[in-house]
Every structure is written in C-alpha cells, then in structure tokens.
Amino acid sequence: MENYDLLNAIILLANFVIVPALSYGSQLALAALGITLVYAVLRFSNFAHGDLMAFGTMIAILITWLFQSWGLTAGVLPTALIALPFAMALTAGFCLLTDRIVYKFYREQKSQPVVFMIVSVGVMFIMNAIVRFIIGPKDRTFFDGEKFIIKAVEFKSYTGLPEGLSIKSTQVLTIVIALITMMMLFYFLQKTKMGKSMRAYSNNEDLALLSGINPDRVVMITWIIVGMLATIAGVLYGLDKSFKPFTYFQLLLPMFAAAIVGGIGNPLGAVAGGYIIAFSEVMLTYAYKKFFMYLLPTNLEPDGLMQFLSTDYKFAISFIILVIVLIIRPTGIFRGKTL
C-alpha cells in the first residue's frame, strides 16, 4: 500500500483541514459580511452581531421544532432548511424593530460612531437575555436528516485506501448555501438599483442624499440584509456544530477579525477574511503527525504531535492575524471603508 502514501496524505488533509476549514470559512464569511454591511452603511462596529446570529438561530430552531411536531421534514435534508426562510424574515423584522426603537434616534442626532458602538452593547445585552430567556443557555443540536454524504467506512471499502474520507452533509450544505447567498448579495450590490444606491450612500452620505437616494430606505434594506445574513450564518454554524448562545457571542472575535483583515466595509474583503481566518485557525491547530507519517520515510517520523498551537488557543490565531494585518496594512487587504 505504500505507493499510495501521497494520496493518503492528501485525503487526510482534506478530511481534517480543507473541508472543515471551507465550511467554517463560509460561516465566518457570511457573518463578517453582516458586520461589514453595518459598518459601511450605518458606520459603526456592531457588537450585537454575534447575539443577532444567536437570535436568528433560536427562531429557526423554534420553527424547526414546530415543523417536526407537525411531522413535516425535508427528507434527507435537515428540517431547519425549511424553517430558514421564515426565521430570516422574522430576524429581519426584529432588526428593523431594533433600528426603529434604538438606533434611529442616534442616527437623527448624528451621534459619533463610538456612541453607536456603546448602544450596540446595550442591544447585545438585551438580545442575549431574550435568547437565554426563551431557549436557555444550554448546548443544543437541531440537526436531522442524513448525516453524511460520504462515510469514512464506505470510502475505505470503495477505494481500498486505509485513510477514510468522510464529508458531512452539513459541510456541503454550508458551502453551497454560502456560495449562493454571496452570489446573490454581490449581484444585488453591483447590478440592482437598490444595491447601487446602497453603495453610493456608503461612499458619501450627503452626495447620495442630493442624488435623490432615500437614506431611510437604504438603512432599512441594510438591516433586512444584515438580519438575513446573520440568520443564515447562525443556522449553518448551528447545524454544522451546535447551538449555544455563549459560543455565538464568542464568535464575535473571529468575525470582526475576518471583517477587518479583509478591509472593514468591503464585502469582498469580508469573504476573503472569513476564509483566511478559518483556514489559519484550522491549519495551525491541526496535529500533522499522521500527515508526516505518510509522507516521510519511517526513520524520519516526527516524535511530537506536530501541532503549532493547541486548539485551546484558536482565538489567539484570529487575534494574531488581526494584529499582523493591522501593523502591515492597517486598511485591510482590500482597502476597506466603502461597499
């Protein structure tokens, strides 16, 4: 079998690094897009975004339970996918409500961005409380349907290789849904009239107003998109891993890191940043011992786990990348600040 060592090594890497990082990156990218849109249009760093994701996911879980109690399922796909559109609509509505009750006042006052940021901390508290109040702080899984697309055992028997490849259906779903969402978002921003007016508003508020763009409408559309993106990102993350309000709050750091690394305010940057953060996180915390065992001759096999950093420090990785980018190129990779 030793002739297949290279192949085995590649499969190992695909199994534990490439596929998980791709799906985690897609989730981060969607989340970072929400942050970046708020930053570009409303001009503040939204600390409540992690909890907004948790809120959207909670709605999706509740609707999923409702559908399951009716006996409605999506067959091999998770039921949460049918619930997703409803949850998106409700979360978007919730965003609009928050904007109406809370943020609108400060916008009219033309408050400084930092005031908005503190206000978003208040919103974060309230959303956190609502989520914990309704669904509780515990860990929940709401996945149903077929769990694997390719099982490790089947792959082994099919190819005859000792290294198995398993791909979870949630990973493929995440990547596919994220790609579709991003494509739709970029089409919307680049080609439609509303998207163009959003970009104009983000570039120069006063000039946009003079050109007959209605700022209230732009803000409204932005919140709707942000709510929908947050729900998709949250549900995909919850399906892939599990739903726990505190984990969603902790995602704030990688999300912001992704948005800033790519250039905050720039949607393309948010997507790139999401994948950069995810790949570095997974690649730097993966133990490469087995990988090198396949590739190197027996006498050169490594003693340790060949792990750069233990998984306990995955937050440190997004932070270190953030700091490096801030030092070398403070505006981010794709020169942020406008849509």
Neighbours of 296 (CB within 10 A): 13
Q: Would you count residue 256 as binding other proteins (CB under 8 A)?
A: yes
C-alpha 46/C-alpha 109 separation (Å) is: 18
Instruction: Tell me which stretch binds other proteins (CB under 8 A): 89-97, 163-171, 275-283, 309-317.
Output: 309-317
Q: Radius of gyration of the chain from Cα atoms?
A: 22
Measured distance CA(59)–CA(11) in Å, rounded? 37
Q: Is residue 283 at the binding interface for other proteins, with CB under 8 A as the rule?
A: no
Of the candidates 8, 80, 10, 30, the one whose C-alpha atom is nearest the C-alpha of residue 278 is 30
Which stretch, 117-125, 140-148, 154-162, 190-198, contacts other proteins (CB under 8 A)?
117-125
Out of 162, 183, 214, 330, which residue is the one contacting other proteins (CB under 8 A)? 330
DSSP symbol at 318? H
The answer to whether residues 35 and 120 touch, using CB atoms and an 8 Å cutoff, is: no
Q: Of the ranges 60-68, 119-127, 181-189, 233-241, which one interacts with other proteins (CB under 8 A)?
A: 119-127
Start-to-end CA span in the chain (Å): 53
Smallest gap from Cβ 264 to other proteins, in A, equals 8
Residue 97 interacting with other proteins (CB under 8 A): no
By C-alpha distance, which of 216, 197, 251 is closest to 34? 251
Contact 61, 281 (CB under 8 A): no
66 scored as a contact of other proteins (CB under 8 A) = no
Using CB under 8 A, which of the segments 62-70, 203-211, 293-301, 306-314 binds other proteins? 306-314
Which tokens go with 140?
Answer: 């929940």
Over the window 126 to 145, marking each residue x when it contacts other proteins by CB under 8 A and - when it does not, the resulting string is x-xxx-xxx-xx--------
**Could you tell me if residue 44 is left (phi over 0), alpha (psi between -120 and 50 degrees) or otherwise beta?**
beta
Number of residues located near other proteins, criterion CB under 8 A: 46
Smaller CB distance to other proteins: residue 125 or 158?
A: 125
What residues make contact with other proteins under the rule CB under 8 A?
A: 44-45, 47, 102, 105, 113-115, 117-119, 121-126, 128-130, 132-134, 136-137, 249-250, 252-253, 256-257, 260, 264, 304, 310, 312-313, 315-316, 318-319, 322-323, 326-327, 330
